Amino acid sequence: VQLQASGGGLVQPGGSLRLSCAASGSIFGVSSMHWFRLAPGNQRELVATITSGGTTNYADSVKGRFTISRDNAKNMVYLQMNSLKPEDTAVYYCNAAIMTTGWKWGGYWGQGTLVTVSS
């Protein structure tokens, strides 16, 4: 099983980016999916979560600005980021709880995609 994240880049303050993460491989099912971020000098932060049923939860720092969504048919999760601030600069990682076709649950991570918010 692999998770592949994409969509990061350089954006000006107030701008928008959309991150994508695709899960592939021997997947039987996907449960909760998450976006984390890690900024220099900071601890890893859970940014957003979406359950298999579509229930979402957000860190206070991104509420009202970020939206997590998923496409269960494609095993993909997205993070729409609006009104970006310099403090949103970080490497963003997707994470998912996945049951493989071998009937094993595991937590899987994407490789990270860098978001830089700067003028």
Q: Alpha-carbon distance 29 to 14, whole Å?
A: 36
pLDDT value for 102 = 87
Q: Alpha-carbon distance 119 to 101, whole Å?
A: 46
pLDDT value for 103 = 87
Backbone angles phi, psi at 61, to 5 degrees: -65, -15
83, containing H or E segment:
none
pLDDT in tens, 70-108: 999 999 999 999 999 999 999 999 999 999 988 899 999
Q: Alpha-carbon distance 106 to 100, whole Å?
A: 8
